[in-house]
Structure 1
Amino acid sequence: MKSKWKSALAGGGLGMVAALAPAPDAAASHQVPGFEADASRLVGAITTKGVVAHMNELQWIADYRDGNRAATTSGHAASVSYVRRKLDAAGYRTSVRSFDYPYFKLRGTPSLSAGGTSYVDGRDFTYMEFSGGGSAAGRLVAIDVQIPPPASGSSTSGCEAADFPPAGAEPAIAVIQRGTCDFSVKVANAAAAGYDGVVIFNEGQPDRTDLFPGTLGEPAALPTLFTTYALGQKLVTLADAGGSGRVEVKARSEMRKTYNLVAETAGGRADRVVVVGAHLDSVREGPGINDNASGSGAILELALQMAKLKIQPKNKVRFGWWGAEELGLFGSTAYVDSLSEQQAASIMAYLNFDMIASHNYAWLIQQGNPDSAADKVVEQVFTKYFQRARLPYQYTPADGRSDYAAFSDIGIPVGGLFSGADAIKTEKQARLFGGVAGQPLDPCYHKACDTNRYISRRSTLVLSRAIADTVYKFAMTERDIRLENIQAAQARVMTVQTGQEARYRGPHLAR
């Protein structure tokens, strides 16, 4: 998972800590109207052993294939083959669907110098993901920057072609301020105006001063770096004085092909589809067992137990194992983009499961579009499970950093479960869930140590059973929550960092 739901967690761990037990479907007060189907048989069939067995298999695949299961690698291909073999044997209709995605690999340390000073990678500046490879040396040109930053709103530096004076015959480097539009728009405008390289600096608003991982979303033509606001100020001053600089990014940036795996039940209404998804790829740094063999293994075991128990859903259930999520949600986005209008309208809800076995876990119910009554229903169905089981939980707001984003953007109700990434466990969370306050929820997030030796089996079981309960209730409901979504905003406006507009592609900010 890209740094999922990393920011603030909504308060309200409303449940009470209790011993783990299968969740009985009990009093009406603990049910959502229309979602009363008794899932206890399916929930009871979900075991730690069953889910962890799939995680162990994906660990073994990574062990024998360069230590990871990243998109376009043999580890990812073997992961797809493993999951598909299990589903085919269980009687599912499966398909592997290829799609193109942008690939980026840094091949050396980037460099930035200006006015006779060489700056430090990782402290003063960093590369922008999908930067063009190469170097550029020439005069610095400040592009409609605002220092100090605007008192309200955001800088519009570089968002319009008219912001850029012609670069001229001599090499030139555009110095652009973050704000308003995507980084990719700023770089494309610079390329169109004839510039040879780009430096984008942070905006200068509160919480917009430091370095962070940014992305251009797809391969760009120009070498592009990102700097702190402090360094940006220096570069602007130098540009105004007619100074020059040099940027270099040693990188490979190109389009590649990878895969999604989709399976669905034979039965169930095709005009009322419940899509259940998890990404199957890992980062290149490690095998990705919590992120996200855990979510992938949970929905695989759910699919297998549904087949074993011969469950006949009223609504069709479609499972998706997405590729290239870690690189920018590309698999789920490709799937949504491939849907016809009729196919999209047939999806009643999308349920997303990305990291459920975090070692220092919290049990987090992902909230969807706050303007959508239907998304609220999805949240309530998850919530009632934890209340019936007398288990603690908290809510976490959607910020567009996992595979639900593409579904939400076209108005499909979404929700999910998550046990935490690199956010620091609070004292309140330590009281609710145990574990160590002041430490990351997943200390091995995006690291080589994200292995099957460093997972929480308790969290795996609790969240896997919550998944089973909610999927079953959606599979059996006759209530069509899409009808409750008509007045909702169709596109989710994501906000982070003091309410300023931003959006993510995988782990990286795109704006």
Structure 2
Amino acid sequence: MNIATLRRATLASLAVLTLTVTVTTPARAAAVPSADRLAAGVTTGALLDHLRALQSVADRSGGDRGYDGVGFTRSVDYVEGRLRAAGYRVTRQTVPYTDFAVSTETLTAGGAPVPVLMTRFTPSTPAQGLTAPVAALPAGSTGCAAGDYLGVTGRIVVLPRAACGYTAQQQAAAAAGAAAVLIYYPTPKPDNNYRFLAYTPDDFTIPMASVSQRDGENLIKRSTAGLRVHLTLRGAGTPRTTTNLFAETSGGDPDNVVMAGGHLDAVTEGPGINDNGSTSAATLQTALALAPYQAQVTNKVRFAWWGAEELVDVGSAYYVTHLSDAERARIALLLNGELLGSPNSGRFVWDQGSGGSHVIADLFAGYLDRQKLRYQRTSPDSVGSDHLEFLPVGIPVGGIDGGNLGLKTPEQQALFGGRAGQMFDPCYHQPCDRVENLDTSALTTNARAMAWVLARLATSADDVRAVRTAPAS
């Protein structure tokens, strides 16, 4: 999941669509099982098998399954292989986009290296880097107002991210004459470092990078003694392609397509097992459970694994914008998920409050109520992910997530258990986002909820009709 609900990354103006098709017909038809039986086929063991395979991919691909590297390509190969073996029609869609390749990101303070992550799509320093004194903000200021930056001319400003957002903070620092910005994200895990992205590159006019909270606070403390640092940040836009992967049932009404999926890529800083290998695995296992009955479903099901979501929905945006009007009209809805196995887990059902999204949310709620599983309803835009590309074109969306770097409230602790005041997933976008970080009980129950709702929508013309015709308030 990308770090916030944010503006799309820039896509190339010309596009090439590549489809690779493999068709294998099941040996014999069988009646579609109930939604309960299909959901029961999404077992903890099967989910962990898929996630261990993705973990293995990351371990032999430099430690990550980043959207721009071999780890992602190998993830696609794994999922496609399992789908083909199960008898699905499998297609790949090649998606061109503009990436930002970082070639150098170094920071030294007092001669000692400090880990630093360049903000993507921001200006580079000179090739030799820049040396400058560190500036801290006055006590009690947020960095959201011009008056917070008095005396920063020619200095490298170090500050925490504030509610106004790092775009506004960088603009204010640049207007005051700062040479660069080093920003950190305050969390209960002060050693975490999060890479940021300039979603409106023209608004960023000076170099910017992130450090951990611990390192940022240390730099601020040392700034009073005249600390000087050397910062080198070098990066540039570069054309790349990513892949969307689809598997579609052989049967079902082609004018009522039920889509379900999640992004298969991870950030470049970790293996991305919870974010979002968890939903990729849940979607894959649901597809495998449905495979013997794919010719008998009432509504056609299209499973999707998106590419480059972490650069903000690149694959899904391309898919949606390249649908014809007729193709778009055939899609009844999209189910999506994020971080299904967060270790300090919550359970959040996405609900617009009206329209088709509300109907889908009620399906999730009905299942969870029967399973005596607690949940909260939240707006679909509370989570930045691929479903946000479908809403603007009128396709209803629904889904579920387990929480990311937000802090669990005391009320949510009472509802879900876990620890208030701690992140739902302290390994979000970190190297520790591995299989051993997962809450496997939350993973399984959330994955089964997605499978159950998918099964209902795949087998019920009435449910899909209700989604399509639900009035929006």
Same fold (TM over 0.5): yes
* TM-aligned CA distance change 1:355 to 1:433, over 3 Å: same
Q: Deviation string for 1:198-241 (max 9, x for gaps)?
A: 99999xxxxxxxxx9764448769854569xxxxxxxxxxxxxx
Residue in 2 that maps onto 1:144:
none
Partner secondary structure for residue 240 of structure 2: strand
- Give the paired residue count: 376
Q: By percentage of residues, which structure has more helix?
A: 2
Q: Pick one of 40, 44, 48 that aligns with 1:48.
A: 44
1:483 Cα deviation after fit: 4.2
Partner secondary structure for residue 108 of structure 1: strand
Supply the distance in 2 between the matched residues of 1:403 and 1:415 (Cα, whole angstroms): 11
1:90 Cα deviation after fit: 0.8
Aligned amino acid, residue 401 of structure 1: G
Q: Pick one of 408, 419, 437 that aligns with 1:425.
A: 408
Q: Pick one of 254, 267, 270 that aligns with 1:286.
A: 270
Bigger RCO (CA 8 Å, 6+ sep): 1
1:292 Cα deviation after fit: 1.1
Residue in 1 that maps onto 2:62:
66
Q: Deviation string for 1:369-422 (max 9, x for gaps)?
A: 44x411111111111111111111112222261110100111110111101111
Residue in 1 that maps onto 2:420:
437
Is 1:297 equivalent to 2:281 in the alignment?
Answer: yes
* TM-aligned CA distance change 1:100 to 1:110, over 3 Å: farther
1:54-453 aligned within 5 A? 54-106=50-102, 107-109=104-106, 128-133=119-124, 135=126, 215-217=197-199, 223-225=205-207, 249-308=233-292, 312-367=296-351, 369-370=352-353, 372-399=354-381, 401-453=384-436
Contact 2:246 2:305 in 1 (8 A): yes
Q: Deviation string for 1:233-283 (max 9, x for gaps)?
A: xxxxxxxxxxxxxx9852232221111111110101111001101000111
1:481 Cα deviation after fit: 3.6
Supply the distance in 1 between the matched residues of 2:340 and 2:100 (Cα, whole angstroms): 28
Q: TM-score, normalised by structure 2?
A: 0.70
Aligned amino acid, residue 130 of structure 1: F
Residue in 1 that maps onto 2:148:
none
Contact 1:219 1:254 in 2 (8 A): no
Q: Deviation string for 1:297-317 (max 9, x for gaps)?
A: 011000001114567211111
- Provide structure 1 residue ranges, at least 5 long, that are not aligned to the other structure: 7-36, 112-120, 138-153, 156-177, 188-196, 203-211, 228-246, 489-511
Supply the distance in 2 between the matched residues of 1:290 and 1:222 (Cα, whole angstroms): 31
1:129 Cα deviation after fit: 2.7
Contact 2:262 2:306 in 1 (8 A): yes
Supply the distance in 1 between the matched residues of 2:121 and 2:272 (Cα, whole angstroms): 22
* TM-aligned CA distance change 1:2 to 1:259, over 3 Å: same
Supply the distance in 2 between the matched residues of 1:486 and 1:431 (Cα, whole angstroms): 34
Partner secondary structure for residue 352 of structure 1: strand
Partner secondary structure for residue 340 of structure 2: coil
Q: TM-score, normalised by structure 1?
A: 0.65
Supply the distance in 2 between the matched residues of 1:340 and 1:482 (Cα, whole angstroms): 21
- Provide structure 2 residue ranges, at least 5 long, that are not aligned to the other structure: 7-32, 109-113, 131-143, 146-161, 172-177, 184-193, 210-230
* TM-aligned CA distance change 1:200 to 1:415, over 3 Å: farther
Partner secondary structure for residue 77 of structure 1: helix
Residue in 2 that maps onto 1:14:
none
Aligned amino acid, residue 388 of structure 1: R
* TM-aligned CA distance change 1:420 to 1:311, over 3 Å: farther
Supply the distance in 2 between the matched residues of 1:58 and 1:213 (Cα, whole angstroms): 22
Supply the distance in 2 between the matched residues of 1:444 and 1:221 (Cα, whole angstroms): 30
Supply the distance in 1 between the matched residues of 2:282 and 2:432 (Cα, whole angstroms): 20
1:486 Cα deviation after fit: 6.5
Mean Cα displacement is larger for which, 69-78 or 295-304?
Answer: 69-78
Contact 2:84 2:90 in 1 (8 A): yes
